[in-house]
A and B are shown apart, each in its own frame.
Chain A
Amino acid sequence: MSFKYPVVMPKMSMTMETGELINFHVKVGDQVKSGDVLFEVMTDKIDMEVEAPADGVIESLVAEPGAVVEIGKPVLIMLTETEVMAFDFGDDDQPVAAVEVAPPAPIVETPVVAAAPIIVNTNVKAVPKARVEAANRGIDLRTVHPTGPDRTITMQDVNGAQLDPAIVKRQEANKALIAKGIEMTRAIAQASFNRRVTANFDHASFIAAWAKVLRGRPDLAAHEHIGVALIIESKYGSALPVFRDPDQASLNDLRTLVASTTDAAKNGKVPVAMLSGATTTVFDLTTYSMSSATPLLFPNQVTSVTIGYDSESSKNISLTIDLNFCDFYDGALLLDALVASL
């Protein structure tokens, strides 16, 4: 059975509403493979090649080259037998307009997984080394085509997998934008995720785990390093000492540093070197027996985490993300990975 699959104008940023179709790389009747370039798009921020999301045949070209197309509107229609598309638009008489109701995820939105081995909900079969390799290279195993027995992802599959050029471009754009700072759309473009955890951790191990998860998403920071700011309340007000690349220190060293810094901060003294370079913020609310607080995102940061009180034996972890730079799916994955690694 084959499915009609409209390839739509992708949404490449929160502010993008239309994109200009530059040209097609395919014509009607062409056989395409997943990953083949279908057409090129230009926006005010970025030029991009849109790739075939699956193997198939080009059924029709909907838009004209040079035309300005609204996001979510079809640019071309392809026929595919790949069931993983998960979109069946029914019989041929079905209007393509159905696309607007349930737009298929454009390929550019395919998120990069933070660290595959700790994504516990990833239900794909892969040989152990493929998981390690995917984590190291920031490849989402769900985007890798399995060629091994029983549809298992082999090393060859992972080695052949490339980070989608669109994702690379998007990540670069993210970094630049975060550096510039986006405050305008922030208020309406953030989301929070909560998860109850029973794992035991201290500030040091939590900071290290969170940094390790963020390591897989270098685009979520303007800096090359990962700087975790830990909010410490004192009679002088809130202090935010920044721990740089805490996942790369030994846990013992980090514990010593966190303890001494916390003591110093409570006395209103934070080393000058630790006052800058934050890329994310951690706020422990359990001191106040609070389970959550209004999500906060500091300028030039797109994530923050709160540790809240839940019960004697559990805590409530809440992650806030800026939707300009990642979507709900990313947020769920990030929190999932964080909780799994605690």
Chain B
Amino acid sequence: MSDRMLTMAEAVREAMSIAFDERPEVFLLGEDVGIYGGAFGVSGDMYHRYGAERVLDTPIAELGIVGAAVGAALSGMRPIVEIQFSDFTAQAMDQIANQAAKIHFMLGGALHVPMVLRTPQGSGTGAAAQHSQNLEPWFASVPGLKVVVPSNPADAKGLLLAAIDDPNPVIFLEHKLLYKIPGRDPVPEGATRIPLGVSKVVREGKDLTIVATGIMVNKSYEVAEKLAAEGISITLIDPRTISPLDMQPVFESVEKTGRLLVVQEGPAHAGFINEVIAQMAGSSSFGSLIAPIKRLAGMNIPIPYAPQLEKAAVPQIEDIEAAAREIVKNWR
């Protein structure tokens, strides 16, 4: 086992490099991914290592970028698209939702679209409403897309390798605030895949189950560690892949804890995490609940520019801590 502590940007670059070395049909395209090394430095030196034919700087034209990738994927390539901010996928949505997601099905399975679309998401950088969104439910609600939301470097590497292998279009949502920080766990050397559609039980406890996505996994983990010292023991589950969604560990955990708190960054209204609640409420584990299910999510507003308001618009560690305490204290 390696003890390498990488940042998520490094881990993603490593996964792309491994895929580049394994398969000649893998290539990367996007705005400033080449000479500049990516807006968040994720592709880094790949342009210099693999050349301009495999690391393509594109014009500022998201619909064209994804369209080119879909066409390449249909003709046997395995493109990795980087869209500079997930907000800009709005420009490319026809290619993503109407083309990439549906071609395999509308052609009777004759062709498939093995494309990965990587894009940074989330708030916390002071970049205001058009550069800070969490758009998980946009993609999770389109059948034909797989959607991955890694919360740490080790998962990001293994999941991205599996996403590149996958014959379906995969949307890979990376949180900007996680790019520059090392994870809790070392990133293994080599080309180990983490299968898509398998939730991860990050830690186990007996009093409360928290299901969180992306950066909220990290925030929830801190809360779980803190409350453990006070005798509140928390199971934390990271779905990692939100489409398809693996609920089994959630059911099994709630049968033990009886309490469920779900946390997401995106707006509460019609958010992805509501799917977790719906499946829980309709499951045979419903009768295990000893407390109402609690949801923490972003406010139903565009992310504000002012830093204090931006912070207040999405769940913070203190919010998760307060909610966890309240559920365990009030429902016994």
A-side interface residues toward B, CB under 8 Å? 117, 127-132, 148-149, 154-156
Contact = CB atoms under 8 A, between A and B. Distances in A.
Interface stretch (B72-80, B289-297, B317-325): B289-297
A154 B287 contact: no
Contacts of B289: 127-129
Given A127-B290, A129-B289, A131-B287, 15 more contacts: A127-B258, A127-B289, A127-B292, A128-B286, A128-B287, A129-B287, A130-B290, A132-B287, A148-B331, A149-B331, A154-B290, A154-B332, A155-B290, A155-B331, A156-B332
B288 interface: yes
Nearest to B331: A154
18 contacts: A117-B287, A127-B290, A127-B291, A128-B287, A128-B288, A129-B289, A129-B290, A130-B290, A132-B287, A148-B330, A148-B331, A149-B330, A154-B290, A154-B331, A155-B258, A155-B290, A155-B332, A156-B332
Nearest to A156: B332
Nearest to B258: A129
Nearest to B281: A128
A145 to B, nearest CB: 14
Contacts of A127: 258, 289-292, 331
A149 B294 CA distance: 14
A127 B331 CA distance: 9
Of B258, B288, B332, most A-chain CB atoms within 10 Å: B332
Contacts of B258: 127, 129, 155
A198 to B, nearest CB: 24
B133 to A, nearest CB: 34
B327 to A, nearest CB: 10
A156 B287 CA distance: 15
Interface of B: 258, 286-292, 330-332
A154 B258 CA distance: 11
Contacts of A155: 258, 290, 331-332
Contacts of A131: 287
Contacts of B292: 127
B256 to A, nearest CB: 12
Please name the 4 residue pairs, one residue from A and one from B, whose CB atoms are nearest each other, closest first: A156-B332, A132-B287, A155-B290, A128-B289
Nearest to A117: B287
Contacts of B331: 127, 148-149, 154-155
A156 B258 CA distance: 12
Nearest to A158: B290
Nearest to B292: A127
B258 to A, nearest CB: 6
A18 B85 CA distance: 84
A148 to B, nearest CB: 6
A155 B292 CA distance: 12
Contacts of A154: 290, 331-332
Nearest to B285: A128
Nearest to B287: A132
A128 B293 CA distance: 11
Of B289, B290, B291, most A-chain CB atoms within 10 Å: B290
Contacts of B290: 127-130, 154-155
A129 B258 CA distance: 8
Nearest to B259: A127
B23 to A, nearest CB: 49
B209 to A, nearest CB: 14
Contacts of A129: 258, 287-290
Nearest to A135: B287
B314 to A, nearest CB: 26
Nearest to A159: B332
B259 to A, nearest CB: 10
A148 B258 CA distance: 15
Nearest to B289: A128
Contacts of B287: 117, 128-129, 131-132
A148 B332 CA distance: 8
A127 B254 CA distance: 14
Nearest to B286: A128
A148 B326 CA distance: 12
A280 B177 CA distance: 68
Contacts of B286: 128
Contacts of A128: 286-290
